[in-house]
Amino acid sequence: MNKTAVITGITGQDGAYLAELLLSKGYTVYGTYRRTSSVNFWRIEELGIENHSNLHLVEYDLTDLSSSIRLLQNSGATEVYNLAAQSFVGVSFEQPVTTAEITGIGPLNLLEAIRIVNPKIRFYQASTSEMFGKVQAIPQSESTPFYPRSPYGVAKLYAHWMTINYRESYDIFACSGILFNHESPLRGREFVTRKITDSVAKIKLGKLDVLELGNLDAKRDWGFAKEYVEGMWRMLQADEPDSYVLATNRTETVRDFVLMSFKAAGINVEFSGHAEEEIAVDVATGKTVVRISPKFYRPAEVELLIGDPAKAKEKLGWEPQTTLEQLCQMMVEEDMRRNEAGFSF
């Protein structure tokens, strides 16, 4: 019998890739989007699934309990993947209350809806390495203590513990995926990797002079989003509900990713100076192509993330395949193609 799944946040990066994966497995998918003045389905259009006969697009807001109940009643789903969130760490400092309501309390609405409608529904919560924040151990695993450093991280930690609490209190098959940063050509341009690859493509094509960034020393464990959504699905197919880290176990600085991206575009750059005076220069032309802007610094920073995905490998058979160089190359090529064609999402 075909399965039915709900994916909240289908207009986001992970929602689009997960929908593609589940549809390819024969699922009927109810993908939720928010009513806004200009709903944007560019990601599912890029993947060519927007008109799939098994895909149903449903208007929904995570902060609304009654809407959550109706979503589960009307879809008849047996798996719910909660990917919806105010997911931008930088914005969470400016909008902490909205972030708490969506990213923290939102998942509780879905857990309550599951408890009310059908406690047999399997639930995936999109947790994050941002919960580790001020790092307490290297690498970070499922047993590393949490110390979130942003309103986003704090909100996600609440939802993580609620997921575990509903698992333990009501025997709900509720999983928490503690995913480290994962990127792709479908990544939003507000996040640093895509901001870099899109800007590098524009600089290469003469459409932009300088890329402005914040903290270049932050280290992240970056993987390929398409592989991470496979891990989400595997968590809900396991015999027991649990929490898992998905990561590559490699960490690089934002500066490294900048160098890698210019290299992928065939531009040789060199960094010089330090702190807010640091710049990168195109060696061939002598032009400054990267400079620091304090407006991209955060009030509190997560300095170093590197995850240990050993448990996911052992219990789920999940392993990342794509190297950071391959991922970066893929993103730069896609942004070159889009910018050459005269558009950029």
Residues that bind ligand NDP (CB under 6 A): 8-9, 11-15, 34, 36, 60-63, 83-87, 102, 126, 128, 179, 181-182, 188
Contact criterion met (CB below 8 Å) for 179 and 320? no
Q: Where are the alpha helices (DSSP H) in 103-241?
A: 106-117, 151-170, 192-204, 225-237
Residue 172 or 186 with smaller CB distance to ligand NDP:
186
Active site residue 128: yes
301, 310, 315, 333: which one contacts ligand GDR (CB under 6 A)?
301
Angle between helices 13-24 and 225-237 (to 10 degrees): 60
Measured CA to CA, the distance from residue 56 to residue 52 in angstroms comes to: 8
Strand, helix or coil for residue 308 = coil
- Edge-to-edge strands, sheet with 55-59: 55-59, 28-33, 4-8, 79-82, 122-128, 174-179, 243-246
Among ligand NDP, ligand GDR, none, residue 301 binds (CB under 5-8 Å by kind) = ligand GDR
Q: Which of 11, 28, 32, 128 is catalytic?
A: 128
The 238-277 site mask, x for binding ligand GDR (CB under 6 A), equals ----------------x-----------------------
| CB of 308 vs ligand GDR, minimal distance in Å | 15
Is residue 128 part of the contact set for ligand GDR (CB under 6 A)? yes
Decide: residue 220, CB within 10 A, 0-12 exposed, 13-18 middle, 19+ buried: buried
Among ligand NDP, ligand GDR, none, residue 26 binds (CB under 5-8 Å by kind) = none
| CB of 192 vs ligand GDR, minimal distance in Å | 4
Q: Which of 79, 130, 183, 334 is catalytic?
A: 130
Is residue 213 part of the contact set for ligand GDR (CB under 6 A)? yes
Active site residue 152: yes
Contact criterion met (CB below 8 Å) for 39 and 9? no
Measured CA to CA, the distance from residue 189 to residue 196 in angstroms comes to: 8
Q: Which window, 22-30, 189-197, 234-242, 333-341, contacts ligand GDR (CB under 6 A)?
A: 189-197
Measured CA to CA, the distance from residue 221 to residue 245 in angstroms comes to: 12
Altogether, the residues listed in the chain come to a count of: 345
Among ligand NDP, ligand GDR, none, residue 192 binds (CB under 5-8 Å by kind) = ligand GDR
Is residue 89 part of the contact set for ligand GDR (CB under 6 A)? yes
Identify the H or E element spanning 182. strand 182-183
Which residues are catalytically annotated? Answer: 128, 130, 152
Residues within the interface to ligand GDR (CB under 6 A)? 87, 89-90, 128-130, 180-181, 190-192, 195, 213-215, 218, 220, 254, 296, 298, 301-302
